[in-house]
Structure 1
Amino acid sequence: MDQALKPVTGWLHTRSPGIAAIPADLDLIENRIVDSLGFMEFILLLEDLVGRELPLDQLDVDHFRTLRAVFESFLSPHARHR
């Protein structure tokens, strides 16, 4: 999981350089690591990583809420939206 999330955590650290470590279950939205302005950029990053457009009409904010959710929803070999 860590290797697949490396580009995601790198992007998050670039946007929020004061963050030391991001636990897999930390709520990225509630803790304002991903805010409303960066949310579309976050989606574009994930689209680049999976190599296609994401079906926005089939997605829920919970797919983006934690690193674990991002991995399970988009980056794992068995991801629902891969």
Structure 2
Amino acid sequence: MSNGNGEAQVREVLSTFHEDLLKLPADVDLIDSRLINSLAFISFMQKLIDVSGREPDLDAVPIAKLRTIQGLVEIFFGSDAPAGQAAQ
């Protein structure tokens, strides 16, 4: 996948968990709405690292950004995304 459209990439990864996740507004809280559980979230984060080629320091990222598509796009595909280590 190219990194041209981060939101499309985040949604594509989400769709591997459930197709309905493609239609969500970008600001829906994925955890509070119970659309993705904690075990799936771990797998989801790993897939985003693989797709984006970035491994941000998730301990340094505000929790709120980890909960929405919009925040995940900023973390993994935004120009100001934390450099972290490149995924191998």
Pick closer, same or farther for the CA change 1:4–1:62 going to 2, 3 Å. same
The two structures have a TM-score, normalised by structure 2, of 0.71
Residue identity in the other structure for 2:74: E
**Cα root mean square deviation, aligned:** 2.2
CA positional deviation for 1:59? 3.3
8 Å contact from structure 2 (residues 56, 75) kept in 1: no
Matched length: 80
Pick closer, same or farther for the CA change 1:21–1:61 going to 2, 3 Å. same
Counterparts of 1:20 and 1:47 in 2: how far apart (Å)? Answer: 19
CA positional deviation for 1:33? 2.0
Structure 1: unaligned runs, 5 residues or longer:
none
More helix by share: 1
Q: Which runs of structure 2 are paired with 1:2-81 in the superposition (5 Å)?
A: 3-19=5-21, 21-79=23-81, 81=82
SS at match of 2:55: coil
More strand by share: 2
The two structures have a TM-score, normalised by structure 1, of 0.74
What do residues 36-82 of structure 1 show as CA deviations (whole Å, max 9, x unaligned)? 11111111012113324332332343221111111122211122x24
Counterparts of 1:52 and 1:35 in 2: how far apart (Å)? Answer: 23
8 Å contact from structure 1 (residues 12, 33) kept in 2: no
Q: Sequence identity, in percent?
A: 32
